[in-house]
Each structure stands twice: as C-alpha cells, then as structure tokens.
Structure 1
Amino acid sequence: MPHISLPTDQPGIVGLFDFRPETAGPLNALAEVLLRQESTLTRGERELIAAYVSSLNSCRFCFSSHAAFAAAQLPEGMPLVEQVRADLDAAPVPSKLRALLRIAGKVQRGGREVTEEDVRAARAEGATDLEVHDTVLIAAAFCMFNRYVDGLATSAPDDPEAYAAMAEQIVTTGYAHVPAGLRG
C-alpha cells in the first residue's frame, strides 16, 4: 500500500504522475529524450540500461516495466534482458553495450565509482562521448525514478502481461502521460 493517498490505483510511477501531474511532464520529457529520441544506441539498448539499473536497485516496478519495454524493442527479447540481469559478463551483448552497462552499474553504486579507465574501455569498444554521457544520465535518472517509486511504496503488478501492455503503449506512443482526470 502506498505511503500516500493516490487518486488512482495505477501502479508505480504512473500513480505518482496522477498524484502530481505537474512533475509528470518534466520527468516524462526526460525519459522521452533519454530513451526514445534519435541516438546511436537503439531504443532497446537504452531501455536495457534502464532495466539493468532498476534491477540493481531492486525496484520491481521499474525493472519489470523497462525490461518489458527493452524486450519489445530488442530482437532477442526478454531472454536477453534476463541474461543481462543474471550475469552481465556472460550475456550475449555487443562489447560496446557491455562496457556501457558496466558504467551504468558503477553509476548505480555512486557516480564517483566511474573511472577514466571505465570510459577508456567503453571508447575502446567504440562508444562515443554522447553514448557515455547518455548512459551515465540514464543510470542516474533511473536511480532517481527507482527511489521515487519505492520511496512512496507504490504498487507493482505481479502479472507480466500488465507490463507487456505498458510496453505496447510506450513503444507506440512514447512517454507521453495523460493524468487520470483527463483520460477518456
């Protein structure tokens, strides 16, 4: 049960956005830029970074939703997401993405954990400064999102189909959020 009274029974961050729509806009805009705008990293790869950080933070709602969003946009689907979650070193991801995921994991522990050696390793695998930047910002943003969702004890569906339905909406329309009072 959430720590505060929410106006809807929407799970996770969606219920929080219904509670305070004026914060939903900027947070959704950030997610839209980081996860969906044009980039040399695919949308699926960026969602995988978000899911990986959310997994490290043990945020069930954010991991489950962004895992579904990543799976819907990666040819290897959920099996790859689960492999990355279970063992990044053994997961069959490109070396550049693995280096970026390692940076994301360090950001999750603390920003100062990222070293010049980590960045150099990512560059050696072909990562650009923009990809390193966006990886760090995705990881940092998802630490915030995870703490927002879990800090207010929001609900998280148990049914994977609920996340698959969210994924369909995100893949199709993006992170635009319509507050509960404006839904048809």
Structure 2
Amino acid sequence: MQPPMYLPEVENNPQPGPHRNLIERTRELGQENWQIWNLFAFRPEMTIHMGRFTHAVMHEEGPITPALRELIAAYTSSLNHCEFCMRSHAAVTAALLDEATVHAVLTDLDTAPIPDAEKALLRFTRKVTLDSAHITPADMAPLHELGWDDAALFYAITVAALFNFYNRWVSSSGVHAVSHEGHALHAANIAQRGYIRA
C-alpha cells in the first residue's frame, strides 16, 4: 500500500480523462498506481499540454535518441533525489538499452560503459540542473568538438529543464515511487508508444 500524497484533495479528485481511466484500470487490475497520474488527472485541461510537450521532447524524432533522452531524465532525477522520476525513467531507459548500463551511469558516470560524448553531454546536463546560471559559450565548445550540434544541445537542455520541473512537481506533491516491478510494467509501453494517453 502506497503512502498518501501530501495533497489529498488532489489525489482524491481525479477528473474525467485518460489519467483517471489509468487510475481506475490499475485499481481494477490490482496493480500499483503511479500517483503522478493523480497530478495529471486533477486539472486535465491544463496537464494535457504537459503530456503532449513531454511526448514531443522525449519520444518524437530528434537529434539525440529517445534512449539518451530517457537517460538524461533519469540522471537529472537522480541529481535531484527524485526517487519516483529516477526509477521511472531508469526503467524506460533499461527497456531501450539495458539495465546494467543504466545502473552504471546512475552509480558512477565516469566509469559507465557509454561513449565519452554521451558522458560529456550528461555532465553538461548536470550543470544545467545544478548551476545553470553559470553556463556560458565555453560550455558548448567542447560538446561541439565531440560532435553535438546546437539542435542536440537544445534537446539535452530541454530534457534536463523539463525534468527539473517534474522532479519538483512530483517530490513536493508527495508522489511516491512504486516497486521495481511496478515501474517496469509501464516502462515497456512508454518506451514503445511514448507519453500520449488516449
């Protein structure tokens, strides 16, 4: 049984729409509820735009792969100590790559078995997360030398910025992580279909 969110009026008042349908379906199936759905379901006329934006940023065609975008989301969430988002996006990344690589990145980026260019991009997103006020053109130059163009940097910055928002939204509202199996259950669907809820 999950602990309640910090906002019971939000958690207990899902409005009609796809996220309330998800909440009801998981309850009927006896599965764990992702409490972030309660945030989306509270004001669907507002959050529908967030869902579409998230889908476009994370899943549609772009200059960096969906797997790397998901890894940036998981890495950003780990920096912000957001357990729900870190586990969720680690699970999606694992569905697109493999669990050992994701674990290695989140444990020790320096020794993780990923290309140096990807490590550099992740280090840059660390600065976006922890010290964005001090980013200058000097931060871009080594990334350009490693083959990342401005479009790729735009995506990396946008993913990191998006998950800085989500981490704060989720953590401050009291959204709790679910089990490893609970995260993995929906990760495969997200990896394949993205974030649009019909």
TM surpasses 0.5:
yes
| 2:165 equivalent in structure 1 | 144
Report Cα offsets for 1:93-135 as digits up to 9, x if no partner.
1122111101110111132232322211111110010111111
What's the CA shift for 1:146?
0.4
| 1:83 equivalent in structure 2 | 104
The answer to whether residue 120 in structure 2 is matched with residue 94 in structure 1 is no
Matched residue pairs, number?
A: 175
**How many Å separate the matches in 2 of 1:83 and 1:114?**
26
Q: In 2, are the aligned partners of 1:99 and 1:118 still within 8 Å (CA)?
A: no
| 2:60 equivalent in structure 1 | 37
What's the CA shift for 1:172?
2.7
Please tell me the residue identity of whatever aligns with 1:3.
Y
Equivalent residues in 2 for 1:59-78, closer than 5 Å: 59-74=82-97, 77-78=98-99
Please tell me the residue identity of whatever aligns with 2:107.
A
In structure 2, the residue corresponding to 1:25 is in which secondary structure?
helix
What's the CA shift for 1:149?
0.3
Q: Mark the runs of 5 or more structure 2 residues left unpaired by the alignment.
A: 15-22, 24-32
| 2:137 equivalent in structure 1 | 116
In structure 2, the residue corresponding to 1:110 is in which secondary structure?
helix
> Which segment is superposed worse, 94-103 or 143-152?
94-103
What's the CA shift for 1:89?
1.4
**How many Å separate the matches in 2 of 1:151 and 1:29?**
22
Q: Mark the runs of 5 or more structure 1 residues left unpaired by the alignment.
A: 179-184
Please tell me the residue identity of whatever aligns with 2:176.
S
| 1:182 equivalent in structure 2 | none
**How many Å separate the matches in 2 of 1:113 and 1:99?**
17
What's the CA shift for 1:166?
1.2
Q: Where has structure 1 moved over 4 Å in runs of 4 or more?
A: none
What's the CA shift for 1:173?
2.2
Q: Percent identity?
A: 35
Q: In 2, are the aligned partners of 1:69 and 1:170 still within 8 Å (CA)?
A: yes
Q: CA RMSD in A?
A: 1.5
Please tell me the residue identity of whatever aligns with 2:197.
H
What's the CA shift for 1:28?
1.1
**How many Å separate the matches in 2 of 1:42 and 1:163?**
21
Q: In 1, are the aligned partners of 2:63 and 2:155 still within 8 Å (CA)?
A: no
**How many Å separate the matches in 2 of 1:114 and 1:12?**
34
What's the CA shift for 1:174?
1.3
The answer to whether residue 38 in structure 2 is matched with residue 15 in structure 1 is yes
Bigger-Rg structure (1/2): 2
Report Cα offsets for 1:51-72 as digits up to 9, x if no partner.
0000000000000000001111
**How many Å separate the matches in 2 of 1:113 and 1:71?**
32
The answer to whether residue 196 in structure 2 is matched with residue 173 in structure 1 is no
What's the CA shift for 1:27?
1.1
**How many Å separate the matches in 1 of 2:94 and 2:81?**
19
The answer to whether residue 26 in structure 2 is matched with residue 4 in structure 1 is no
In structure 1, the residue corresponding to 2:110 is in which secondary structure?
coil
What's the CA shift for 1:88?
1.1
Match of residue 132, structure 1, among 147, 150, 153: 153
